[in-house]
């Protein structure tokens, strides 16, 4: 008899009630926020990055931009927000209080010192003495902090990543995770450096460096702060493909647990990260948009999925898709697809597929009296027509040559 699946998840030496963790961001900017998140059902939380009290952190206003769909749904999100506004002592007492109230939840302290490794070591000792379960080194913030020589300025320099990781691990008594920046050509280099420095795990990815847009009337970059702007960090559903690729690359490169981050808003997104090698996932933007309560549907959906697939826990999903991820040259050229009318009643003769195939494909479709006519000899099997069909009328028929 198949046992009923559970959501208990292994993250290195840590055990989570479920694989869903609140990322270091506005949702974890206060003790009360984390408390409400735990009450809602999150398995863990990463405290918004704690910094030395002497570091000047002052946010601009406004600092967010959003790309929304026609129904108001979030597609992409940019922020220029900096680190925690709370003092180290606030977090010391807050971590202790949260661990007393929620001993079975994993609490990770994100820290960022200055250019002196001793400042990182001091923070590490203080947060672990307060009772945190693990430490996350923020060497990946894409805006503001790199100008001060930290954040992504460290994360883009593998020798610095290794050195800093080793310095912190030397004084740490809890697992140390290192958070990677995607703003680098080969993310496996800093991941390997962190592993060489003694890291217990990797977090990936931080937000993607971006310029959200420009007001073409005023010429002001968005978001505009007094008529001026700067680059920020891009997140939300739009960056999930980037996060998935980076996590898969890291999972293959280093024998360490990975916390997947980037564009996760549904349980299906989390499952994809797990299948590509993540041990757990962190969520930020979706919580900012929809609230802590989204984790309830994530937990329910993932549990049902595990039961459907016959898995006993999220641990059994980890890396299951990696063997199917191969080089481009290894892909089968004899396996082909061609478009067919899967739902003829849904086709309204709009001609979108015809235009797409003519101007962006191989001119293999005609529209005659609002009926589609396919030319198999001209079709190259690219699948563009299927993707652009607004009614979902076209389907892919597989065949071999």
Q: What positions carry a catalytic annotation?
A: 141
d(CA 24, CA 27): 8
Which residue, chain included where needed, has tokens 């080793």? 166
* C-alpha distance from residue 331 to each of 325, 326, 335 (Å): 10, 7, 9
Tokens of 150: 């930290």
CB 177 within 8 A of CB 136: yes
d(CA 342, CA 136): 49
Tokens of 32: 């009360």
d(CA 152, CA 30): 24
d(CA 334, CA 324): 17
- 3-class secondary-structure state, position 199: coil
Instruction: Tell me the torsion sign for CA atoms 137, 139, 142, 147.
Output: positive
* C-alpha distance from residue 35 to each of 22, 38, 129 (Å): 11, 5, 20
d(CA 213, CA 218): 12
Count CA within 13 A, CB hemisphere, residue 32.
Answer: 1
The per-residue b/e assignment along 223-232, b for 16 or more CB within 10 angstroms, e otherwise, is beeeeebebb
d(CA 308, CA 198): 38
The residues with which 51 forms a beta bridge, in sequence order, are 112
Under DSSP, the state recorded for 28 is G
d(CA 397, CA 337): 5
Q: Could you count the other beta carbons within 10 Å of the beta carbon of residue 39?
A: 12
């Amino acid at each position: 008899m198949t046992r009923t699946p559970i959501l208990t998840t292994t993250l290195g030496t840590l055990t989570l009630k479920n694989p869903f963790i609140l990322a270091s961001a506005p949702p974890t900017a206060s003790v009360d926020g984390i408390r409400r998140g735990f009450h809602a059902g999150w398995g863990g939380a990463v405290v918004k990055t704690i910094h030395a009290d002497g570091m000047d952190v002052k946010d601009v206003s406004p600092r967010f931009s959003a790309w929304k769909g026609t129904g108001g749904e979030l597609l992409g999100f940019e922020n220029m927000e900096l680190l925690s506004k709370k003092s180290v002592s606030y977090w010391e007492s807050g971590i202790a209080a949260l661990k007393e109230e929620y001993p079975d939840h994993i609490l990770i302290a994100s820290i960022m010192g200055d250019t002196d490794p001793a400042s990182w070591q001091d923070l590490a000792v203080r947060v672990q003495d307060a009772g945190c379960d693990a430490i996350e080194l923020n060497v990946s913030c894409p805006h503001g902090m790199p100008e001060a020589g930290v954040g992504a300025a460290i994360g883009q320099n593998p020798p610095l990543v290794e050195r800093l990781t080793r310095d912190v691990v030397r004084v740490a008594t809890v697992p140390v995770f290192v958070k990677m920046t995607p703003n680098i050509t080969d993310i496996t280099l800093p991941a390997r450096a962190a592993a060489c420095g003694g890291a217990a795990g990797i977090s990936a990815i931080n937000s993607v460096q971006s310029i959200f847009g420009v007001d073409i009337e005023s010429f002001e970059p968005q978001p505009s702060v007094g008529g001026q702007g700067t680059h920020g960090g891009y997140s939300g559903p739009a960056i999930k493909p980037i996060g998935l690729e980076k996590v898969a690359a890291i999972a293959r490169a280093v024998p360490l647990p990975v916390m997947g981050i980037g564009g996760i808003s549904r349980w299906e997104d989390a499952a994809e990260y797990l299948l590509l090698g993540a041990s757990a996932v962190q969520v930020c933007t979706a919580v900012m948009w929809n609230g802590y309560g989204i984790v309830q549907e994530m937990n329910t959906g993932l549990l049902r999925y595990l039961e459907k697939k016959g898995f006993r826990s999220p641990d059994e999903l980890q890396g299951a898709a990696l063997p199917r991820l191969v080089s481009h040259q290894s892909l089968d050229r004899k396996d082909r697809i061609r478009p067919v009318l899967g739902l003829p009643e849904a086709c309204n003769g709009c001609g979108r597929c015809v235009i797409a195939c003519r101007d962006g494909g191989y001119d293999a479709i005609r529209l005659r009296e609002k009926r589609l006519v396919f030319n198999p000899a001209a079709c190259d099997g690219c699948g563009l027509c299927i993707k652009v069909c607004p009614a979902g009328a076209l389907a892919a028929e597989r065949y071999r040559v």
